[in-house]
Amino acid sequence: HCGGCMVGCRHNAKNTLDKNYLYLAEKWGAEVRAEANVRDIRPLYGPQPDQARYEVVYEKITDLVFKRQTALRARHVIVSAGVLGTVNLLLQCRDETKSLPLLSRRLGYMVRSNSEALIGVTARTDEQDFSQGVAISSHFWVDDVTSVEPVRFSPGSSFMRNLMLPLDALQGNSLLAHLGHTVLAGVKRPFDFLTVRLLPKWAEKNTVLLVMQTLDNRMSLRRGRSLWTLGKKGLVTERDPNQPIPTVVETGRKVLNSFAEKVNGVSWVGMNELMNKPNTAHILGGCGIGGNEANGVVDINHEVFNYPGLFVADASVIPANLGVNPSLTITAMTERAMSRIPKQAEAVTPAPLQKPEGLELVQGGNGRSPMKAFPFLLAFVPLTLFFLFKAFKR
């Protein structure tokens, strides 16, 4: 009843992955390798002595300088790294390492945010403690397409306030106008500004409203460079020009202002609105289900087109904005897909992968990735020179 479900349960009362699926998998002989980052998935064409069809290459994230690579061989591979992890890995395999060049060109498209907005209200007084209770315990529909979940944080969990601004600060249509009104709001209502940004017991006085919609809006993900990737190659987003994901959900703001009036509170919105960027707690899509590779990445059983034995099982296969928390939908779709894979006692030896005509094989690396250490070396060399200089100076 402490409200800490979102930020970390201290009472062993939360049903987390390590207590259900991973626990049961280990009981059946699965080995969990933590602190590992998969870098590549390589098909193994032709008959193999161990009947493997894929080689999965991973690095230990604890290797700071030379990234040692380890390869595992498997008959089946299930990618379940969440939308950002799964789409990023598969894009790398298709476009950079070229190990999976036949992946659908639809990879990274039809990505959705559940049409969400994270907003909330901070009470001006501490007469009522909003932090007590289960983190999310209720849910209601405002209209046919919009639902709202009140969310609470446990006492002391107030860091999120640094990402918030009073609603009054968001006026105008440009970043410069937003910044000007932010300053003006602080001058006109200094106590409200301090309530949201500085005064103590923010979590105890605060209620987050998670607004979600079923409206059809979308964006796409691709590998590239931007200001947000700090110049390194990573995932970048592109809004759909015809059905862009909204930054502001007006229906949610109406609920927000009504709730603020009810509890004598200050309405706030995320700082992302200052930059005209939508945010979400539930990113969906990117590996859509389709009838063939021209209109989807995976088939109805979550098997990747052109790569038998390679599956995707996470939120990246969700085909639409759900308007509610998607965790149970992800679970149901994943369990359905896994039920289509034959049990070990009933399984037959899978047919070897056949190399498509004209496709060049990708050779494996030497087990190390020294260039991954380049940013660390840039920091290490100046420090070494500095300490050597200090030593000789003595």
Indicate which residues carry an active-site annotation: 282
Backbone angles phi, psi at 213, to 5 degrees: -135, 155
Cβ burial of 214 (10 Å; 0-12, 13-18, 19+) is middle
Q: Largest Cα–Cα distance in the chain?
A: 75
Contacts of 207 (CB under 8 A, 6+ apart): 120, 121, 130, 150, 151, 152, 259, 263, 265
- DSSP assignment of 326-340, as one string? -HHHHHHHHHHHHHT
Token pair in block for residue 309:
């034995």
Q: Where are the alpha helices (DSSP H) in 229-303?
A: 250-263
As a dihedral over the C-alpha atoms of residue 67, residue 72, residue 76, residue 80, rounded to 10 degrees, the angle is: -30
Backbone angles phi, psi at 229, to 5 degrees: -95, 5
CA dist 250 → 200, 213, 224, 254 (Å): 29, 11, 32, 7
